[in-house]
Structure 1
Amino acid sequence: MTAKGRTGGRNPLLIHTLVSTGNRYDPVLAASLAPASRSLYEQARRMCSVAELSAACGLPLGLTRLLINDLLRIGQLVVHESRPSQDLALLERLRAGLLRLT
């Protein structure tokens, strides 16, 4: 169980899970979101990992996962499959993001 009694989605988001707004970015929705959710939503305009979002927004990983799941549930974020060509670049971005968390 997490904040306010909510739990994560069926499939837990891993730190390397890639998400983005895809072509669904909605500035009206962004303005209506709480500050932490808005920050995640804005950062997700480009595809990035859960760890990158956590680091970029200065949020704990657990809270980041929870807020991402909320945005996924309302159809405002998209989960992307990792492609082999992205693996090295993704690992480098994950490393940089994790270093920012410490």
Structure 2
Amino acid sequence: PQSPTLLPRQNMSKYKEILKARSLPRVAGGPIQELFRAIKGGPRPGSNFDYSAPLTEVVLLGGLAIRTGERIEWDAANMSVTNHPEFARYIKEPARKGWEYGEDLWDS
């Protein structure tokens, strides 16, 4: 099998050392056990909502910008596009009848 290699080969060995130094510590038991330990008061998990939720928000907004071809100005506190109010239909779709639970959670 072919693997990416830097040439000259001396550079590849230097690069491998750099990668080893940057490696994240592995979690004993995997991500689910890490989550359970965090829930029980252990250390914060590496896959933390403090950064994953805002990251997801940015990625989804990027998709909206690509889909519409427009610049998006985002008000994170109110979860709304400020420069194109008509895009609200892409942000929060109306719930079907009988599935309205929690609709007021987004109201401030």
TM superposition score category, shorter chain reference: under 0.3
- Which has the larger helix fraction? 1
- Which has the larger strand fraction? 1
TM-score (norm 1): 0.24
TM-score (norm 2): 0.24
Structure whose CA Rg is larger = 2
Higher relative contact order (CA 8 A, sep 6+): 1
